[in-house]
Each structure stands twice: as structure tokens, then as C-alpha cells.
């Protein structure tokens, strides 16, 4: 009897022991004895060397060698094919490994990239690009005009969207896109290789910004040529280190999925091999970022989040870090629902301004203006962004030539003016509940919705509610919704929404605001319907007048004035990008839209 | 016994079907779909997303979508991820599972090694200074949120002292062999302790109260009266009986092992199933949500079954026919 029990006791103890051992045993399985351990020792030596030399005087000129470690807060989804990736995290890697025909300079003009020169015909329906010769892909093959044609043909492919591609905007204006994507023809006329180093883009209609359409990242035909577009996303050539091939100064050589992404120097880079041996991207939690910068474990952090405004002073105080502070191209708004759609239109997904139902609560532009005066935007920037942001008086980024606030109404915080405007309009408190009623004496409650996901935006909602209540506006601030749910509700707007918060992150290619503020734009969540605005937006894009930037600038000036008066949304603030890097990194020349400018010229002052 | 096990396993099938319907229903009832949260780039035509919805079958009625999914499931095909383009759900789960398993087992090992001896010692010396200390530690462990403890641990041990790495599972791509093994353990220390802390506290409290309970029972008094040594009383009579609830706990722990501590994984940027699950929920990646939820369901059911079987081994009073 006792023996029996003893055995059972042993079993249960063994079980415990087994668990402990299993923890170790499983570890062992993952050990892959492939490389000789010598490599690791070398790496360690490097590490020690860096520490010692970091204290020495700065070297005078660029030296080759060294490893740089960058951080991002979320892991890339793993799609390293420029025509299929979607997120800024992949872009972090692709901006080092792949290139486009043209880039942009400080004043946002297009500059030569893989194309050294170009010309357009008179009506700007044709753009001829002359390519750099002797450019080598990472695998040693030569880059030619066929690669360009192949890239655009892939995006125009009938299977492209179903396979998960979203970049069709680059090919829709090209000649013959409709026929090709519908499968009516096998010949894509839009992009044509004239010879090995000349490629011609043909547009269906005169195009005012043809270089933008030629600025897409190029993928190699010799790698993807035999893979049908529908199978490209799962192909190892789109996701595996060593098999992702570009022309950039670094090649994607190794990864620990979702943790580390290693880029190695591409020795045959056409602009000369990079100084750095390696760039290692690590995925780290945002909460520990400043600590990692301090300890030197991370050398730089940039897009998409950079460092937090609240950490600015902390990071600046570390002493070993340089911060690049620049305005972002995007902005945060509080929108006014001018119109709602009908339930039928929402059901069928129709955008038909004729059916829209005006939102009586906000239909008077002066009411919207009064609300704008009641919002202390300066206060939001100081309080929430710690001053790391700017007021924007029109929905075009300040860095663009098109931004012009000379004739816009700028709503400087003025609660008294807001109150008196509302008084004059007849919005007064008639039943002594502390809130204004509308001119007919009815309750006037503005519903206010906002999404989660952006901490600063979340915090701004109750502050704005308070500001509006101070001038006597009854605001019904509702529970925030998670982004996916929020956008769905914002889109299906046969609802009682009045005020909403949203943020836009925008590109640097062209200031045209039609995609957000055109009446028929899906993202025109205010359902703003102003025929004058439509006219101006169309004028600004109309060939041939719009070939001249000065002409467009004038038109946009008028449009921005109109926008600020009719006010589909109050632009709350444009947050500054805060990018940071360790002082051991030299040669950084940031552009308004990226820190990764000519990374082949980056070097570290403690390389061996 | 075998009949019992087979019966239990057969009951799993309807349970899993019901579970999958509930999860599918809940996932679909949540507003938004894989594209709504992402469609905020004005350079991208929303029609593109509409075409992709159509291609993925997201426009079909929900029951049709469920049947399509279930039909594929039965053939063992978990489908393709909607967010991670071109990746199969199975490959994503296989890729993350080891990380979570190692971390979970490591944490469980820490938990058991720490909590059981302390629990026993506390129970044998109740109301001593050690016992009060252990109790305080126990409540501290239960009360302090995991993520907070994780951040403190990172700040102290990773950033200030530099003893342990704070992020990820491995230093670099260039470590191999035995070095890689130790490197991984090294990376697991902080998340493992963080994850194990809450468990340690509750196991310890359980152990203490069970041992106390058993120590005051009649058969222990009888055993002592017979002149049995304290040592024998403890190991032969007390522990066996006190272990029973711990085994139940561990049955549940099985599921927790896989789900990992979602929050702990986030804080330490530790790529496991927990982070995958959270990401998939925010991205409405239905196939992954379903697969992980089912996986958790199966492990918890199996964990409970194993716990029941061990019961009957440890405690002869329990018999299954």
C-alpha cells in the first residue's frame, strides 16, 4: 500500500520536474548549430570596441564600417514587395533597399533618382525618362527600362487588386489602363521601353504632375517575371531576406521575424558603396524608447512615430542624442457634419450629393465659425503636444508651395467673439439651463464622437468639449470608439453625428486636396458640398493652365480662403515629427518628409 | 477509464462547434472589417478595398461565410490571413507558438519552483514573520498589474543595471549554438518573471491554505499520534492531498500557457501568440482570430481532461467508469 502511494507521489513530483526540464529541453530544440561561434565573439569584440572609441575624439572625415541600430514600435507585417506593402514599418526597410526613378528635394521638387533626366511633350501627355546606366540590382543583374515597364504593368494587372494591391492610383491616369485591367488587351500602352535606358510614360489625358506617377518604387523583372501577379504576395521573393532584391544602398540580408531586420551594404551600389556595414532594425516597445536611446542600444528612431512630444525634453537632456524636429505633412481635424446621407444611399454605398440631408444644427457657416473661435488651438498644442506642433489655417501642409494663409480667416482663440457671434445669431439660453438653445428655442445639443488609437487626439476630445461648453454650447461627448468601428460609423453616416475627430497623414508629392475635400471624395466625411470649392479644385488641376505652378498657387489661395470661411472642419493642429539619432551617426541630411536621405552617405564616428 | 476518456473527447466536438459559432458571431458582430481601420489614405481609392472585400468573400452573408470557413476547417485548412498578405494562418501560428510555449513554460517553472516551497513553509510556520512576509509578497504580486511590474523590471534591470535585455527573444542574427540557447534564456528572464509573478502569488496562497487545511485534518492527527515523523507526515500524507487543487489550477494553466500573457508579450515586444491575437483582433483578421480561439479552446479542454485524469491517479477516492 505504502509503496503504491510512494510511486504515485513520485509520479507527481516527476511531473513537476518534467515541466521544469521541458522548459529547458524545448529551448534546446531551437538551437541551430549552424554558424561557428567565432562570429559571435567577434560581434562582442565590436561592441566593446565601440564603447572605448566612443570616448575618443571625433574622427575628421567619413570612415567605412560600423553598424547602426534603428527602432520601430511595431513589427512590419512582412511584405517587402514595394508594390504590395502597405505600412510605414515595411517602408522603413524598403527605403534603404529599393529606389524610384525620381525622388524629392527639400523644396519638394522632383529630382533625379534612377532616372538621370527626363522631358515631357507640350501637352504633358508623354513623359520620357532617361535612366542611369550601370545600375546593379542586389543580385548583380543590370537595371533596365524593362524593369520599369514590368513594375507598372504588374500594378495595372487585372489580378493586382484581388491579390491585395492598393497602389492603383499610380497607373489609373496612364494610357490604356482600363483596357488592360479589364483584360481586353494584353498590351499595356501606358509605359513603354524605348530602348534599354529610355522609358516613356503615356497619359490618357494631359497630366499636371507626371513625375509623381513616375515616382513609384521599381521592382526587378528578372526576379518576378515568371511569377503571376496573383502569386506575388506569397512568393519568397516578396518576403524573405536575401531574396528581396532592390537597387538601394543596402540589401535586406537577415531577419528574426517580428524582432530584427538586418540590412547589409550593397557593394555595387551605383552611387558608391555605403559607409555603414549594416543597419539593424529592432522592434521595441514605445514605452522603453528613451531608455534605449540613452543606453545606446538604439541609435535612431524616426517614422512612423518618432519620439513622443512628452519625451522631447527628456531625450534632449540625454546629451548624446540629436533631435530632428519638423512639421508633419498630416494634420488633425475636428470636422463638422454638413450633410448626412440617407439610409438607402448608405445601404447601397452611393455618394450622391443631391440626396444628402443637410445637418440643420450646423448648417449656418457663422455657427461653425463661432465654434472655431471657441477652440483654443494654441492651448491644445502647448498642453497636449508640449509645444511640438503648429497651427495650420488651411488643409494643406505648410511645407508645400501651395500653402497660403494670407487671405484665410484665421480663427485665433476668442471665446468672447464666439459668444457674441452666437448671441447675434439668436443662439441664446432661453430656459436657463446654462446652455444655448437654437434660434427657434429648441434644445441645441451637438454630438461629438472620436476614435481611440492616438493618445493625444483622445485627450483633446474632452478638452474641446470643455472649451465649447464655456461659450454655452451643449456638447454631448460620446464614448470613443476603436478605429475600425469608428471609421465604419463615420462612413455610414445616416446618423446623428455632428462633430468628429480624425487625423490625416499625407504624402509630400502634391498638395491637391481633392482626395479629402472634394464633394465626391469618400474621405469627405463632413459631406461638404460647395460648388465653388469644386470649381476651384478642378481649375487647379486643369491642363494646360495648371502646368504653371504659379497659376495653381493662385487658385489654391482662393480655395483656402473659401475653405476657411465655409469651414467643413477646424484644423486643430499639425504635429511635429520628432526623429532622434545618436551623435555617433554622421552625415544625416533630413528632408521635409523623411530622415532617410542618402543613407549611403551615413557614417559612424566610432567605426574601426 | 478509457471509456470515460473517449466519452469526454467525443463531447469536445459539439463544444468546439458551439464555441466556433460564438466566436465567429462575436468577431463578425464587432463593427468594421479588415479594411475599415486602414482606409485612411487619400491617395488610395476606397473602391480598391471594395474589390478586395469582394475577393475575400466579406460581402457574403455571415452564415455563408461561417459555412465556408467551417468547410475548409474540416479539411484542416485554416485559410489565409487577411492582414498578413499571402501568409497562411497555420504558418503564422506555428511561427509564434514556440516563443509563447517557451515563455509560458519558463514562467510556469519559475512559478512552481518559487511558490510551492514557500507555500509549504508558510503553512508549517503559520503567522511567523516569514509567513507574513510571504503573504505580503503574495498580495503584492496579485495587486501589481503585470505591465507595470514589467516596466519597472525593464527600467531597473535592463536600463539602469543593464543585466538583462528588455526586448525580443534574441540578441542578433549572428548568435548560434549553445550561445543562442543561453541568449534566449537571457531574454526570457524578465518577461518570464513578470509573467510568473501573478501565478506565483496565487499558487503560493493556494498551497499555503491547502497544506494548512490538510494539516488540521483528522488523518494527519492520527498519523502524528501513531508516532510518524513530521517529515513523513508532510511528504506522504499532506503534500499528496494538498496537491490536488494545484493540479486543477495547472489544468487551466494549459490554456494560459498558449494564450501567453498578452500584455507581458506586448511590454517586452516578445513575438508570441498573444501579440498575434491582439493584432488580429484590431485588424479584424477573422481567420487568425478563429484559429487562435479554437486552439485555446482545445488546449483548455484537453488541460481539464488531463487534470481530471491526474486526479484519479493522485486521489484514489476519485474513480471514473
Residue ranges per structural domain of chain A: 6-19+329-576, 88-237
Residues of B in contact with A39 (CB under 8 A): 174, 176
- pLDDT at site A50: 40
Using CA atoms, how far apart are residues A17 and A15, in angstroms rounded to an integer?
Answer: 5
Higher pLDDT among residues A596 and A505, named by residue: A596
Fold of A6-19+329-576: Dipeptide-binding Protein; domain 3 (3.10.105)
SS3 assignment, position A506: coil
- pLDDT at site A36: 39
Full 3-state SS string of chain B: CHHHHHHHHHHHHHHHHHHHHHHHHHHHHCCCCCCCCCCCCCCCCHHHHHHHHHHHCCCCCHHHHHHHHHHHHHCCCCCECCCCCCCEHHHHHHHHHHHHHHHHHHHHHHHHHHHHHHHHHHHHCCCCHHHHHHHHHHHHHHHCCHHHHHHHHHHHHHHHCCCCCCCCCCCCCCCCHHHHHHHHHHHHHHHHHHHHHHHHHHHHHHHHHHHHHHHCCHHHHHHHHCCCCHHHHHHHHHHHHHHHHHHHHHHHHHHHHHHCCHHHHHHCCCCCHHHHHHHHHHCCCHHHHHHHHHHHHHHHHHHHHHHHHHHHHHCCCCCCC
Is the pLDDT at A202 greater than 90? The verdict is: yes
SS3 assignment, position A562: helix
Is the pLDDT at A212 greater than 50? The verdict is: yes
Using CA atoms, how far apart are residues A20 and B112, in angstroms rounded to an integer?
Answer: 9
Is the Cβ pair B176, A37 closer than 8 Å? yes
B88 to chain A: nearest residue by CA? Answer: A234
Block residue for cell numbers 475635400? A517
Cis bond upstream, residue A163 (ω within 30) = no
Q: Model confidence over A421-465: pLDDT tens digits?
A: 999 999 988 888 889 998 888 889 999 999 988 888 999 999 999
CA atoms within 13 A on the CB side of B29: 6
Higher pLDDT among residues A272 and B266, named by residue: A272
Using CA atoms, how far apart are residues B32 and B51, in angstroms rounded to an integer?
Answer: 16
Helix (H) or strand (E) holding A580: strand A569-582
Higher pLDDT among residues B145 and A22, named by residue: B145
- pLDDT at site A80: 93
- pLDDT at site B258: 64
Q: Which residues contact B221 (CB under 8 A, 6 or more apart)?
A: none
User: Do A68 and A278 form a contact (C-beta atoms < 8 A)?
Assistant: yes
DSSP A286: G
Block residue for cell numbers 510555449? B101
- pLDDT at site B282: 82
Q: Which residues contact A170 (CB under 8 A, 6 or more apart)?
A: A152, A155, A213, A216
DSSP A133: S
B165 to chain A: nearest residue by CA? Answer: A297
Task: Give the mutation candidate from B38, B40, B285 for the A interface (greatest A CB count, under 10 A).
Answer: B40
CATH 3.30.429.10, applies to A88-237:
no
The grid coordinates of residue A267 equal: 557593394
| Range with top average pLDDT, A459-468, B82-91, B226-235 | A459-468
Is the pLDDT at A26 greater than 70? The verdict is: no
Q: A352, A324, A322: which is closest to A340 by C-alpha?
A: A352
Residue B50: C-alpha distances to residues A85, A184, B35, B67, B166 (Å): 18, 22, 9, 22, 41
Block residue for cell numbers 503564422? B92
Higher pLDDT among residues A574 and A27, named by residue: A574
Residue A263: C-alpha distances to residues A242, A280, B10, B245 (Å): 10, 6, 51, 52
Q: A354, A521, A238: which is closest to B41 by C-alpha?
A: A521
Strand partners, A279: A68, A263
- pLDDT at site A58: 47
Q: A164, A166, A529: which is closest to B39 by C-alpha?
A: A166
Task: Give the mutation candidate from A166, A294, A332, A479 for the B interface (greatest B CB count, under 10 A).
Answer: A166
CA quadruple A458, A464, A469, A475: dihedral sign: negative
- pLDDT at site B321: 63
A39 to chain B: nearest residue by CA? Answer: B174
- pLDDT at site B256: 66
Go through A172-187 and write b for each residue having 16 or more CB atoms within 10 A of its CB, e for each that does not. ebbbbbeebbeeeeee
Is the pLDDT at A558 greater than 50? The verdict is: yes
pLDDT band at A528 (very low <50, low <70, confident <90, very high): very high
SS3 content of chain A, % helix, strand, coil (to 5): 35, 20, 45
The total number of residues shown for chain A amounts to 608
- pLDDT at site B96: 86
Q: For the whole model, what pTM was predicted?
A: 0.80
Is the Cβ pair A27, B102 closer than 8 Å? yes
Q: Model confidence over A49-90: pLDDT tens digits?
A: 343 444 444 446 888 989 999 999 888 888 899 999 888 888
Is the pLDDT at B177 greater than 80? The verdict is: no
Higher pLDDT among residues A248 and A27, named by residue: A248
Q: A310, A301, A321: which is closest to A388 by C-alpha?
A: A310
DSSP string, A563-579: HHHH-SEEEEEEEEEEE
Cis bond upstream, residue A304 (ω within 30) = yes
B92 — phi, psi (to 5°)?
Answer: -65, -40
Mean pLDDT rounded to a whole number for chain A: 85
SS3 assignment, position A361: helix
Count of CB atoms situated within 10 Å of the CB of B229: 11
Residues of B in contact with A5 (CB under 8 A): 236, 240
Residues of A in contact with B37 (CB under 8 A): 483-484, 487
Is the Cβ pair B167, A282 closer than 8 Å? yes
Q: B268, B271, B259: which is closest to B99 by C-alpha?
A: B271
Whether the complex's predicted ipTM is more than 0.95 is answered with no
- pLDDT at site B259: 61
Using CA atoms, how far apart are residues A79 and A363, in angstroms rounded to an integer?
Answer: 45
B97 to chain A: nearest residue by CA? Answer: A26
Helix (H) or strand (E) holding A581: strand A569-582
Angle at A187 between CA A247 and CA A173, to 5 degrees: 70
CA quadruple A489, A495, A497, A498: dihedral sign: positive
Mean pLDDT of A215-233: 92
Helix (H) or strand (E) holding A291: helix A289-295
Q: Model confidence over B189-210: pLDDT tens digits?
A: 888 888 888 778 888 888 888 8
User: Could you report how far apart the first and last alpha carbons of chain A are, in Å?
Assistant: 73
Residues of A in contact with B102 (CB under 8 A): 23, 26-27, 30
For the purposes of burial, counting CB atoms within 10 Å of the CB of A548, is it exposed (0-12), middle (13-18) or buried (19 or more)?
exposed
Q: Which residues contact A293 (CB under 8 A, 6 or more apart)?
A: A301, A307, A315, A318, A320, A321, A580, A582
SS3 assignment, position A212: helix
User: Do A105 and A597 form a contact (C-beta atoms < 8 A)?
Assistant: no
Mean pLDDT of A208-220: 92
Using CA atoms, how far apart are residues B111 and B197, in angstroms rounded to an integer?
Answer: 7
Amino acid at each position: 500500500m505504502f509503496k503504491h502511494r510512494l510511486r504515485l507521489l513520485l509520479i507527481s513530483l516527476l511531473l513537476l520536474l518534467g515541466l521544469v526540464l521541458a522548459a529547458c529541453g524545448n529551448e534546446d530544440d531551437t538551437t541551430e548549430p549552424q554558424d561557428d561561434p567565432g562570429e559571435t565573439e567577434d560581434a562582442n569584440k565590436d561592441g566593446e570596441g565601440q564603447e572605448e572609441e566612443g570616448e575618443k575624439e571625433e574622427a575628421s572625415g567619413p570612415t567605412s564600417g560600423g553598424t547602426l541600430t534603428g527602432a520601430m514600435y511595431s513589427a512590419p507585417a512582412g511584405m517587402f514587395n514595394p508594390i504590395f506593402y502597405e505600412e510605414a514599418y515595411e517602408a522603413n526597410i524598403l527605403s534603404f533597399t529599393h529606389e524610384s526613378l525620381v525622388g524629392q528635394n527639400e523644396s519638394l521638387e522632383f529630382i533625379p533618382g534612377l532616372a538621370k533626366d527626363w522631358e515631357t511633350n507640350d501637352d504633358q501627355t508623354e513623359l520620357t525618362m532617361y535612366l542611369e546606366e550601370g545600375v546593379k540590382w542586389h543580385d548583380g543583374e543590370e537595371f533596365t527600362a524593362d524593369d520599369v515597364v514590368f513594375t507598372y504593368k504588374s500594378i495595372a494587372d487585372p489580378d493586382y487588386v484581388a491579390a491585395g494591391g492598393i497602389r492603383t492610383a499610380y497607373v489609373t491616369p496612364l494610357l490604356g489602363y482600363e483596357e488592360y485591367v479589364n483584360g481586353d488587351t494584353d498590351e499595356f500602352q501606358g509605359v513603354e521601353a524605348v530602348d534599354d535606358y529610355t522609358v516613356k510614360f503615356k497619359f490618357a489625358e494631359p497630366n499636371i504632375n507626371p513625375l509623381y506617377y513616375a515616382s513609384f518604387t521599381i521592382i526587378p523583372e528578372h526576379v518576378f517575371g515568371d511569377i503571376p501577379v496573383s502569386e506575388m504576395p506569397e512568393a519568397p521573393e516578396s518576403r524573405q531576406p536575401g531574396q528581396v532584391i532592390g537597387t538601394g544602398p543596402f540589401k535586406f540580408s537577415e531577419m528574426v521575424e517580428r524582432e530584427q531586420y538586418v540590412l547589409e551594404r550593397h557593394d555595387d551600389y551605383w552611387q558608391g558603396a555605403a559607409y555603414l556595414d549594416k543597419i539593424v532594425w529592432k522592434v521595441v516597445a514605445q514605452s522603453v524608447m528613451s531608455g534605449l536611446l540613452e543606453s545606446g542600444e538604439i541609435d535612431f528612431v524616426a517614422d512612423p512615430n518618432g519620439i513622443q512630444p512628452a519625451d522631447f525634453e527628456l531625450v534632449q537632456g540625454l546629451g548624446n542624442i540629436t533631435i530632428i524636429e519638423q512639421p508633419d505633412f498630416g494634420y488633425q481635424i475636428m470636422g463638422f457634419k454638413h450633410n448626412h446621407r440617407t439610409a438607402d444611399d448608405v445601404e447601397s454605398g452611393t455618394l450622391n450629393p443631391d440626396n444628402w440631408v443637410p445637418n440643420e444644427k450646423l448648417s449656418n457657416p457663422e455657427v461653425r465659425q463661432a465654434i472655431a473661435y471657441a477652440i483654443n488651438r494654441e492651448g491644445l498644442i502647448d498642453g497636449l503636444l508640449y509645444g511640438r506642433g503648429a497651427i495650420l489655417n488651411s488643409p494643406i501642409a505648410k511645407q508645400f508651395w501651395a500653402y497660403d494663409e494670407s487671405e484665410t480667416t484665421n480663427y485665433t482663440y476668442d471665446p468672447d467673439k464666439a459668444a457674441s457671434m452666437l448671441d447675434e445669431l439668436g443662439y441664446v439660453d432661453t430656459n436657463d439651463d446654462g446652455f444655448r438653445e437654437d434660434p427657434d428655442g429648441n434644445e441645441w445639443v451637438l454630438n461629438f464622437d472620436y476614435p481611440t488609437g492616438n493618445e493625444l487626439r483622445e485627450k483633446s476630445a474632452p478638452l474641446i468639449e470643455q472649451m465649447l461648453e464655456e461659450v454655452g454650447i451643449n456638447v454631448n461627448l460620446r464614448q470613443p470608439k476603436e478605429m475600425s468601428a469608428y471609421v465604419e460609423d463615420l462612413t455610414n453616416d445616416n446618423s446623428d453625428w455632428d462633430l468628429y475627430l480624425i487625423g490625416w497623414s499625407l504624402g509630400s508629392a502634391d498638395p491637391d486636396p481633392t482626395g479629402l475635400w472634394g464633394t465626391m471624395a469618400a474621405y469627405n466625411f463632413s459631406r461638404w458640398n460647395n460648388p465653388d470649392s469644386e470649381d476651384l479644385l478642378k481649375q487647379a488641376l486643369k491642363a494646360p493652365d495648371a502646368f504653371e505652378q504659379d497659376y495653381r498657387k493662385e487658385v489654391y489661395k482662393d480655395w483656402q480662403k473659401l475653405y476657411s470661411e465655409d469651414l467643413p472642419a477646424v484644423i486643430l493642429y499639425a504635429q511635429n515629427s520628432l526623429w532622434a539619432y545618436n551623435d555617433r551617426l554622421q552625415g544625416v541630411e533630413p528632408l521635409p518628409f523623411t530622415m532617410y536621405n542618402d543613407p549611403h552617405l551615413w557614417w559612424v564616428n566610432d567605426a574601426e | 477509464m478509457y471509456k470515460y476518456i473517449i466519452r469526454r473527447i467525443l463531447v469536445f466536438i459539439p463544444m468546439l462547434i458551439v464555441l466556433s459559432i460564438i466566436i465567429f458571431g462575436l468577431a463578425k458582430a464587432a463593427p468594421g472589417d479588415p479594411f475599415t481601420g486602414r482606409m485612411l489614405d487619400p491617395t488610395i481609392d476606397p473602391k480598391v478595398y471594395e474589390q478586395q472585400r469582394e475577393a475575400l468573400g466579406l460581402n457574403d452573408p455571415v452564415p455563408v461565410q461561417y459555412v465556408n470557413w467551417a468547410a475548409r476547417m474540416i479539411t484542416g485548412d485554416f485559410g489565409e490571413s487577411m492582414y498578413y498578405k499571402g501568409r497562411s494562418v497555420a504558418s503564422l501560428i506555428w511561427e509564434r507558438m514556440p516563443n509563447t510555449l517557451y515563455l509560458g513554460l519558463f514562467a510556469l517553472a519559475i512559478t512552481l519552483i518559487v511558490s510551492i516551497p514557500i507555500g509549504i513553509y508558510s503553512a508549517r510556520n503559520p503567522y511567523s514573520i516569514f509567513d507574513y512576509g510571504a503573504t505580503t509578497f503574495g498580495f503584492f504580486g496579485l495587486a501589481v498589474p503585470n505591465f507595470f511590474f514589467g516596466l519597472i523590471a525593464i527600467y531597473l534591470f535592463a536600463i539602469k543595471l543593464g543585466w538583462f535585455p528588455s526586448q525580443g527573444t534574441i540578441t542578433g542574427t549572428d548568435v548560434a549554438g549553445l550561445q543562442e540557447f543561453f541568449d534566449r534564456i537571457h531574454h526570457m528572464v524578465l518577461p518570464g518573471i513578470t509573467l510568473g509573478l501573478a501565478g506565483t502569488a496565487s499558487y503560493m496562497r493556494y498551497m499555503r491554505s491547502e497544506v494548512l487545511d490538510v494539516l488540521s485534518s483528522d488523518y494527519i492527527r492520527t498519523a502524528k499520534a501513531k508516532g510518524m515523523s513530521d517529515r513523513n507526515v508532510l511528504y506522504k500524507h499532506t503534500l499528496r492531498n494538498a496537491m490536488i487543487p494545484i493540479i486543477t489550477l495547472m489544468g487551466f494553466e494549459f490554456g494560459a500557457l498558449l494564450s501567453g500573457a498578452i500584455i507581458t508579450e506586448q511590454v517586452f515586444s516578445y513575438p508570441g501568440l498573444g501579440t498575434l491575437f491582439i493584432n488580429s483582433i484590431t485588424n479584424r483578421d477573422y481567420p487568425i482570430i478563429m484559429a487562435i480561439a479554437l486552439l485555446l479552446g482545445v488546449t483548455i479542454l484537453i488541460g481539464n481532461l488531463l487534470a481530471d485524469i491526474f486526479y484519479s491517479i493522485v486521489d484514489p477516492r476519485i474513480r471514473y467508469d
